[in-house]
Amino acid sequence: MVLTDLIPGDRVRDVLVVVGYAGLVGLSAQLAIRLPFTPVPITGQTFAVLLGGLAAGTRRGAAGMLLYLGAGLVGVPWFAGGEGGMRLASAPTFGYIVGFVFAAAVLGFLARRGLDRNALTVILALVAGNAVIYVFGASWLALQLHLDAAHAISLGVTPFLAGDALKAVLAAAMLPTAWKLVGRSPAADQPRSQ
C-alpha cells in the first residue's frame, strides 16, 4: 500500500493521481535556477518526482511521468522554465526527464514494500530514485555534449548532490509523518503488487 491508495474510488483516483502528479512536477519545474557552468538547472522538479513516486505507487507513478513527458513534448510548457515541444527531445537535459519515468516506477515499487514509512528507509529509497535519474540524465548529457563520464558527472550530478541531501531530509520527515497522520502503521499493511 502507498499513500495514494488511501484515496477512495479506484479508477477515478488513479486518473486524478496520475494527472495531479504530472501537474505537480510541471509546476515544480517552474522553480528553475540556471547555473552558468552547466546546462542543467536547479529545479523543484526532482523533489516532486521523488516524493510523488513514493506516494503514487509503481504504475501510477510511471504513468504520471509518462504523461508529463508526453504532454511536454507535444507543447505543454511545463518543462523547466516553461519550456515544451519536440525540440526538447534533443536538449542536453532530456535524459533527466526520461529518468523521471523510471525513477517514479522504482520509488513506487520501494514504497509498496514499506520504504516510505520511516526516515531512514525514505532516504535509502530517495538515493535509489536519484541514482536512476542521474544515470539517465548524465548519460544523455554526455551523449549530447560529447563528454566523457567524469565531465558529465561534474556538470550533471555533482552540483546537485547537496540539494538532493536536503530534499531527502525533507521527504524523510514528510512521508512518515503523513503515514502517522492517516493513522496507518507500517505493520498494518502488507505489501502488494500494483
8-19 pLDDT, tens digit per residue, is 788 898 999 999
- Residue 58 one-letter amino acid: T
Question: Residue 159 — pLDDT band, cuts 50, 70, 90?
Answer: very high
Please provide residue 43's backbone torsions phi and psi, each rounded to the nearest 5 degrees.
Answer: -135, 170
Mean of all residue pLDDT scores within the chain? 91
Percent of the chain with pLDDT over 70: 94
Q: Are 112 and 192 in contact (CB under 8 A)?
A: yes
> What CA–CA distance (Å, rounded) separates 90 from 40?
14
Lowest mean pLDDT among 37-41, 56-60, 184-188: 184-188
Domains by residue range for the chain, with CATH: 3-183 (1.10.1760.20)
pLDDT at 193: 45
In angstroms, the Cα distances linking 126 to 31, 52, 123, 145, 149 are 20, 11, 5, 27, 23
Give the C-alpha separation, 146 to 155, whole Å: 12
Among 105, 51, 45, smallest CA distance to 72 is for 45
Identify which of 117, 106, 118, 121 has the alpha carbon closest to the alpha carbon of residue 50. Answer: 106
How does residue 81 score in pLDDT terms, banded at 50, 70 and 90? Answer: confident
Q: The whole model's pTM is what?
A: 0.90
